[in-house]
Amino acid sequence: MKRLLSLSASIAMLMTVASSANADNWPSWRGPKGNGISSEKGIATKWSKTENVAWKTPLPGPAGASPVVWDDKIFLTAANGEDLLLLCYGTDGKEKWRQVIAKGNKDVRGDEGNSASNSPVTDGKHVWTMMANGILACHTFDGKEVWKLNLEDRYGKFNIQFGMTSTPILDNGRLYLQMIHGAWSKEPSKGVVACLDGATGKELWKHNRETDAVDENKHSYASPMMYDYSGKKFLLTHGADYLIAHDISSGAELFRCGDLNLKTKYDPTLRFVASPACADGIIVVPTAKGGPCVGLKPDGKGDVTQLRFWTHAKTPDVPSPLIVDGLVYLGMHDGNLYCLDQGSGEQIYFERGHRQRHRASPVYADGNIYMVARDGVVTVVKAGKKFEVVSTNEIGESISASPAISNGVLYLRSFDSLWAIKKAN
């Protein structure tokens, strides 16, 4: 009997280790690989205000920033009055600590956002937080401030209508930031791309990002992306009418893609919000509003505007594209969904979804795509060439943050609460 008990305990321990090995941390708003994809299995596809809710905890204020998760800690931001907060919760839903990163919140576009819209990023030892007013800070996992700086003091005052909501990218201890903004005028855009040492905040390089964009198009709310292509990494910045690739060691421009806002029918309000998506051998480049979405070859130099696999007439305006198993999913602002062939851009389907604003970017896990609407309805769609709604789930709270998935749990950050959604055992 003792031997059987010992064997059972060993099997249970091995299953726990195997489960832990398959679990993902979610260190940034687009997940472990920056593409919105989780490798985890068994994520809940059906829930309500009570069903499959592991826990729910109230938050001190709203934000559109996604939570990030590392082991047993969850980090997210919030605006509480004038205080812009970094919050740390345990995966049990209990608050561990909070820090005031900056003062002076600004609500924008009614219920659309505020100055805590940038998502944090972590490496498992530190967490970095940027607020839309340019305050950037580094904290330990225990909440101790390591450093803090004002990006406007270093790089000049931001001239951007709704705040600098771009989320930094962390790679090998370096923070990469795009600060694309400028006065509403006919003067060309002069943005800044910068790389900082994550440990100290020291500038490693700065690149002046110049384009011929004018008026509101100088304002970009997209986030930079890191792309590893054929063993070489480069940084993608997105805004002011162009996608531009940069050398990560110096910031030097490698190539740029234009004609994202055609000069023949120029729209002076085509500011970019959605970020690019990357897969093996392709960059999917969104624009905004009535602009196009482009499948771009990543191996050119200089002006690569003509190096396109395809151009699709419709683009997401706010949610970023998702690429899974050779299919490109464009979750539109109104809840509709396009599915395209990755190689040809051929439209496989267009289906009407939940008719509400969508601000969150879709994420993928275990064969399913999760699309989050502003009214708190999450539509789960089966991935693949055939459109199939797996479930429609409602929590009754407004959401603009993208979901996070870690250790078998789907985390939803509403304006009011942090939800942990998990299949009941």
pLDDT of residue 423: 93
Q: Can you give the pTM of this predicted structure?
A: 0.94
User: DSSP label at 307?
Assistant: -
Give the closest residue to 214 by CA, choosing from 192, 250, 242, 234: 242
User: What's at 414, amino acid-wise?
Assistant: S
Q: From first to last of its 425 residues, what are the pLDDT tens digits of the chain?
A: 444 334 344 434 334 433 444 579 999 999 999 999 999 999 999 999 999 999 999 999 999 999 999 999 999 999 999 999 999 999 999 999 999 999 999 988 777 789 999 999 999 999 999 999 999 999 999 999 999 999 999 999 999 999 999 999 999 999 999 999 999 999 999 999 999 999 999 999 999 999 999 999 999 999 999 999 888 899 999 999 999 999 999 999 999 999 999 999 999 999 999 999 999 999 999 999 989 999 999 988 999 999 999 999 999 999 999 999 999 999 999 999 999 999 999 999 999 989 899 999 999 999 999 999 999 999 999 999 999 999 999 999 999 999 999 999 999 999 999 999 999 87
pLDDT of residue 316: 96
Question: Alpha-carbon Rg of the chain, whole angstroms?
Answer: 21
Q: How many CB atoms lie within 10 A of CB 34?
A: 22
Sheet containing strand 73-80, edge to edge, reads 68-70, 73-80, 83-90, 95-103
360/286 Cα distance (integer angstroms): 15
